[in-house]
Amino acid sequence: MNKTTIVVAAYDVNIFQRRITSACLGNITRYTNRDEYELIFVDQGKPDELNERFHKVDIDKHIKLPENLGSSAAMNVGAKAASLDTKYICFMHTDVFVSEGWLETLRSVLDIGPWKGVMPHQGADTREFVKKSMASETPFIRGNDDAGVIMMDKETFAKSGGWDERFKGVYMDVAFRRRLGIEYYPTAKCIITHLCGITFYGFDAKGQNDFYTNESPILDNPLEFDKKPNYLI
């Protein structure tokens, strides 16, 4: 079986974020078949005693960067470290929690379609929506979600040019999906929990505003980008 490389990049500025990251990595270990993936963790935090929190997590490659290069650059570093026999690359934020069977489900969606990339549905939804999504075999129009997890084959990632390293935080996901264009599709066959915004915890108001101020002008109308109806159930 061709393995999937899971890349998680973190810049943890306090103990709370470090614990969220540790929980995310442990969650992957718990709910993913060990024979089906390799886990690459790109750590931009300062080396200290908090790194010991990861000793119980089954990490294949723990890459410690000497400085904070930004989330996009860190994702690219992780992708370059993927094993040669990797077929799929899955990028995950540190505030994401998966459930049993998530990787197999995403991989099966990639295998059956003309699309090259896929995102799971995330966030709370009604029981009716979940029931419908699990039963349907037809496309379903729905607005896209923030990319807490996005997965694609290695060839698609290479052709995209990777993550746009001008984007270090807020719009990095939108910029990356723009590079992928119509080659990616969200799916509600797989549902994850994404604690959106937790990765900003610890940055003061100025730090958060700097992300928006610096990245917004690069994208023309970033909020308009994700309105195309390409949600696949």
DSSP letters spanning 112-171? HSS-SEEEEEES---HHHHHHHHH--S---------SEEEEEHHHHHHHTSS-TT--STT
* Count of domains for the chain: 1
pLDDT tens readout for residues 26-35? 999 999 999 9
Question: Residue 58 above 60 pLDDT?
Answer: yes
Stretch 145-172: mean pLDDT: 86
DSSP codes of every residue in 18-29: HHHHHHHHHHHH
Residue 28 in domain: yes
> Which of 22-26, 78-82, 152-156, 199-203 is the most confident on average?
78-82
Residue 154 in domain: yes
User: Helix, strand or coil for residue 48?
Assistant: coil
> Which of 40-49, 93-102, 113-122, 221-230 is the most confident on average?
93-102
Residue 232 in domain: no
Residue 81 in domain: yes
Residue 61 in domain: yes
Contact predicate 160/151, CB 8 Å: no
Question: For 118-132, 148-162, 179-193, which range has the lowest pLDDT when averaged over its residues?
Answer: 118-132
Confidence of residue 207 (pLDDT cuts 50, 70, 90): low
Question: Residue 73 above 90 pLDDT?
Answer: yes
Residue with tokens 């984007």: 167
Task: State which residues form the domain around 184.
Answer: 4-227
Residue 105 in domain: yes
pLDDT tens readout for residues 133-149? 666 654 443 444 457 89
* Mean pLDDT of the chain, nearest integer: 78
> Quick one: pLDDT at residue 57?
72
Residue 233 in domain: no
> Quick one: pLDDT at residue 68?
83
> Quick one: pLDDT at residue 11?
83
Domain containing 124 — which CATH number?
A: 3.90.550.10
> Quick one: pLDDT at residue 92?
95
